[in-house]
Amino acid sequence: MPGPRQPKPSHDEPQNHRGAGGEIHQTSGGDVPVLTTQQGMPVADDQNILRAGVRGPALIEDSHFREKIFHFDHERIPERVVHARGFGAHGFFETYEPLTEITRADIFARKGERTPAFARFSTVVGNKGSPDLARDVRGFAVKLYTQEGNWDIVGNNIPVFFIQDAIKFPDLIHAAKDEPDRGFPQAATAHDNFWDFVSLTPESTHMLMWAMSDRTIPRSLRFMEGFGVHTFRLVNAEGRSTFVKFHWKPKRGMQSVVWNEAVKLNGADADFHRRDMWAAIQAGDYPEWELGLQLFDEAFAESFDFDVLDATKLIPEELVPIRRVGRLVLDRVVDNFFAETEQVAFMTQNVVPGVDFTNDPLLQGRNFSYLDTQLKRLGGPNFVHLPINAPKCPFAHFQQDGHMAFHNPKGRANYEPNSWGGALGGPRESPRRGFVTHPAEEAGGKLRARPEAFADHYSQARQFYISQTKVEQGHIRDAFAFELGKVENPAVRLRVISHLLNVDAALAAAVAGKLGIARLPAAAEAARVVRTDLPPSPALSLLSNLPPDFSGRTVGALVTDGSDAVLLKALRTALDAEGATLELVAPTIAGIVASDGSTIAVHHALVAGPSVLFDAVAILPSAEGATLLALMPATRDFVADAFAHCKFIAHSDAAGMLFDKAGVPIGDGGFVALRAKTDAAAFVARCRTMRFWEREAALPPPPKASTHPAPLRQKRG
């Protein structure tokens, strides 16, 4: 019964009309699909619940409403217990050359072959809605839909881990996530529980060095490495096994932000990483990594200083070089975030013939956990039927039924062996093609113990630290000081310092100094003598491995009415040539009228486009524009942050007053004056080193604690 609050739709022609709240709706017609219920019944009115009278109660008879609300109420699935916040994309893996001498894996059999792939990047600790730039390890999970089944390399952007044995994982994650009595902090390890746990778990020390380095605040998911972490096996057709560590090397090189920038990015754009990857793919600048293999045999494993089954250790690239065997290219964003990124189920136990496990006790535990977690999260045993999880090669088995079974076998035989014969009998095992576990010989009593060599917790932590540049070491010190500064219990702070003393005395003293600890504690008792003879491994440093150019990066140019059109064009041309992007920031989002009278659209209003969004900045106002900008508080932040974050700064002459106003001393080597067209190319060339770190070195050194140790009672877990 049409009434004043119930619009009458027409199905003949598309037409607009008003709902009860005055909003405009388009009814169906022509090629516009008709709205239906899930059952396919066309819906006449999606604006008003069925009522007994215009002001009367709702009627239970309204099955459309009940279905709609029922479905909405059940939209959420449990978020991942770790790695809840993630971003995924499709692409392919391309094999460089056959690797048949090392592995029978089909994916490595033919040069140039492309295998479909899906990658998901994630933070570990934060909930699904947490910010992208949290200081955290990043997950780097890749599903390769090979012709012999799905192979998942479920790795991180750090090659080592906090713990050696999977039985400690729930403790580690409980300690790292928000504290249970208060539900915070979110997406942060800067709190008592985390540091309490890790300081009672000395095997975490190496990973802590990585976690406190800039690796945990990547500039882009595209600019970070990935690691399989554990030692795996590759097995060839003759059954010969080679140990392998997997590496993903980013084509655009590695780059991180600085902590102060990360903090501000989380406010300016909590989706910074996902937006960046989405934009790069949409722009055709496809994120790319090379797959690298560190291959070694039993003899090397025996001779290596550490146990290759210990996930808190790495094998320096200088010792076992990386062989690059293919590339992963991400060239397609998802159609639907939930269906693909949320429902994708990675599992370490998804390997293919030619890839096998080792006895790493962390890996073995993971092989149990990942199947189990999918059941909880995806709600039933048929999660592999979901398109994102289904293999893209033929598959045939007798598993049947269960919730939401979509791929149901046809025919009578649902067991084997059977005597139906031929196609009627269904699939049969194949000793020739099938996965064969490497027949490693095992011996020993049943026990709960770790190999002796696992007990060296500090030597590689030290090696990592001494492999960093001075700038990176400074960042590590600052990160420890920040995180421990959030720890309330002084004993926990001291305990961390006692471990750092085994890593590097100057590091420990500097962190202690920043925490106001007057006297250093005694060094933690080390189960094994710390090796000070391990040489620096330059491959472990971000800043020693700069990308070759500025491609894939973004310059933010602050412009106003009257900005020099010729210089702007020159800057854009130079950045285009480099494969980099120019984004314009102006007093308002309405755009500017440049010096030549042309109207130029801009990407950001100044208040919404802080300099933290960019890799370098150009401050190019006209003289009048500079006067206007000087009145805007956001200008000071734009300029001062770009300076403090060591960014390269191009500028017009008129920008001078803005530097003065922001208290920024212009003139160090990170500034480039843009006066002539050729200056733009010079600026872009300077940007190739990404940041002008000398600026940071000019800051006064941190205070240090006294090196006279104070006794400290150690609580050991």
Contacts with ligand HDE, residue ranges (CB under 6 A): 80-83, 86, 120, 122, 139, 141, 154-156, 161, 166, 169, 229, 311, 344-346, 362, 365-366, 369-370, 373
Among residues 64, 90, 150, 156, which one is catalytic? 156
Q: Which two tokens stand for residue 454?
A: 């696992």
Count Cβ neighbours within 10 Å for each residue of 82-101 and write b for 16 or more, e otherwise.
bbbbbbbbbbbbbbeeebee
Does residue 230 carry a catalytic annotation?
no
Count Cβ neighbours within 10 Å for each residue of 446-470 and write b for 16 or more, e otherwise.
eeeeeeeebebbbbbbbbbbbbbee
Percent of residues in the chain assigned helix, strand, coil, to nearest 5: 30, 20, 50
**Which CB, 225 or 641, lies closer to ligand HDE?**
225
- CA distances for 530 relative to 166, 461, 504, 676, angstroms: 25, 10, 11, 57
Residue 393 burial by CB count (10 A; 0-12/13-18/19+): exposed, middle or buried?
middle
Q: How far is the CB of 717 from ligand HDE (least distance, A)?
A: 17
Q: How far is the CB of 60 from ligand HDE (least distance, A)?
A: 39
Whole-angstrom distance, CA of residue 408 vs CA of residue 391? 15
Contact residues for 76 (Cβ-Cβ < 8 A; gap 6+): none
Sequence-ordered strand ranges (E) for 501-615: 519-521, 554-559, 581-586, 592-593, 599-600, 604-605
Q: How far is the CB of 262 from ligand HDE (least distance, A)?
A: 20
Contact 484, 510 (CB under 8 A): no
Q: How far is the CB of 359 from ligand HDE (least distance, A)?
A: 13
Contact 641, 611 (CB under 8 A): yes
Q: Which two tokens stand for residue 112?
A: 């140039």
Whole-angstrom distance, CA of residue 87 vs CA of residue 486? 29
In three-state secondary structure terms, 707 is: strand
**100: Cα separation from own chain's centroid:** 32
**Which CB, 28 or 348, lies closer to ligand HDE?**
348
Q: How far is the CB of 298 from ligand HDE (least distance, A)?
A: 23
> Residue 258's closest CA among 472, 55, 412, 66?
472
**Which CB, 212 or 571, lies closer to ligand HDE?**
212
Contact residues for 279 (Cβ-Cβ < 8 A; gap 6+): none
Kindly state the DSSP code that residue 119 receives in the 8-state scheme.
E
Whole-angstrom distance, CA of residue 332 vs CA of residue 338? 16
Whole-angstrom distance, CA of residue 644 vs CA of residue 157? 27
**Which CB, 83 or 249, lies closer to ligand HDE?**
83
What backbone torsions phi and psi does residue 321 show, to the nearest 5 degrees?
A: -65, 160
Whole-angstrom distance, CA of residue 244 vs CA of residue 232? 5
**Which CB, 139 or 610, lies closer to ligand HDE?**
139
Does residue 418 carry a catalytic annotation?
no
Q: Nearest residue by C-beta to ligand HDE?
A: 139
**Which CB, 358 or 652, lies closer to ligand HDE?**
358
SS3 of 174-190: the string is HHHCCECCCCECCCCCC
Whole-angstrom distance, CA of residue 48 vs CA of residue 2? 11
Among residues 83, 247, 604, 645, which one is catalytic? 83
**Which CB, 173 or 522, lies closer to ligand HDE?**
173
**Which CB, 166 or 293, lies closer to ligand HDE?**
166
**Which CB, 229 or 515, lies closer to ligand HDE?**
229
Q: How far is the CB of 512 from ligand HDE (least distance, A)?
A: 30
Whole-angstrom distance, CA of residue 151 vs CA of residue 328? 14
Q: Which residue has the tokens 């790069």?
A: 280
Q: Which two tokens stand for residue 563?
A: 């900005």
Q: How far is the CB of 372 from ligand HDE (least distance, A)?
A: 7
> Residue 322's closest CA among 356, 296, 353?
296
**Which CB, 169 or 248, lies closer to ligand HDE?**
169
**Which CB, 167 or 676, lies closer to ligand HDE?**
167
Contact 458, 499 (CB under 8 A): yes
Q: Which residues pair with 288 in a beta bridge?
A: 329
Question: Which residues are designated catalytic?
Answer: 83, 156
